[in-house]
Amino acid sequence: MDKIAVINDYPYHVRIVGEGNPTWVFFHGFMGSYAEFGQINPQGTRVYIDLLGFGNQAPVVADAPRFSAENQVKDLVALFDLFDLHDIRLVGYSMGARLALAFAMMQPAYVARLYLESGTAGLAEVDARQARVAADAEKAQRIETDGMAKFVADWEQLPLFASQQRLSLTQQQFMHEQRVNQTAANVANSLRYFGTGAMPNYWDDLATLLVPVTLITGENDQKFDRLNAYMATRLPNVRRVIVPGAGHNVHFENGAAVVAALQAEV
């Protein structure tokens, strides 16, 4: 069942599949959409959301600061209330994992369990945050100047996504089309207001998060494997899952392993 939920004048695209408990909610990654979770189908009710400004031909978000963590969480609370979503198992990938963590930190009463795939708690050092904000501002300017096609072509050459080149041509084409068809202004402003440097630094607050957390990473994603190993030492109720042979986008490269990880606690 596909629905459009208008929250503060923005049309959120939502797909609801399945029935019964538990209730799952999925947050996609940067330049993604709910469609990328098509093979992730654990038992229960599954709610897939195109996050603010993303998805196929999303309208321009006129108020750029709306992309901040605090403002996105406010929208999501309204959306969850609209669909009467509670006791959710919240799953986020990469950018979506950062947003899922922010949601759980700000609104823990909604979350029964948190699943963070290739996520981070932000940047702990002020200098690192400032450098990342500057780098993301430069990327945003390039998007607005050169367009999505050029930005995506460069993005897909990043070492972080090298393992995706082993996927079928159909899968690679799907991911490319999903990225290149995003709305450029929204992608740029997401970087400005919800890049890793712009998001809140949650490292010192992880010890206060009592929601059970599962951290999922790919064996070949060395950077996020290290980050998640450290994150696991800061969280009071945590489980780690490392998927053999996978890179950064674990659910797209090995959906069956991610479904198994999600259902392990059901």
pLDDT in tens, 96-120: 999 999 999 999 999 999 999 999 9
Write the pLDDT tens digit of every residue in 16-50: 999 999 999 999 999 999 999 999 999 999 999 99
Task: Quickly tell me which residue has 């998805």 as its tokens.
Answer: 55
Instruction: Give yes or no for residue 79 having a pLDDT over 90.
Output: yes
Q: Which neighbouring-strand residues pair with 220?
A: none
Per this entry, what is the length of the chain?
Answer: 266
Rounded CA separation 124/6 (Å): 35
Q: For residue 162, which of 81, 248, 100, 86 has the smallest C-alpha distance?
A: 248
Mean pLDDT, the chain, whole residue set: 96
Contact 215, 119 (CB under 8 A): yes
Q: For residue 106, which of 203, 213, 200, 227 has the smallest C-alpha distance?
A: 200
Per-residue model confidence (pLDDT) at position 172: 87
Strands (E) in 145-264, as ranges, are 213-218, 238-243
Contact 249, 161 (CB under 8 A): yes
Domains observed in the chain: 2-122+201-263 (3.40.50.1820)
Contact 153, 161 (CB under 8 A): no
Per-residue model confidence (pLDDT) at position 35: 95
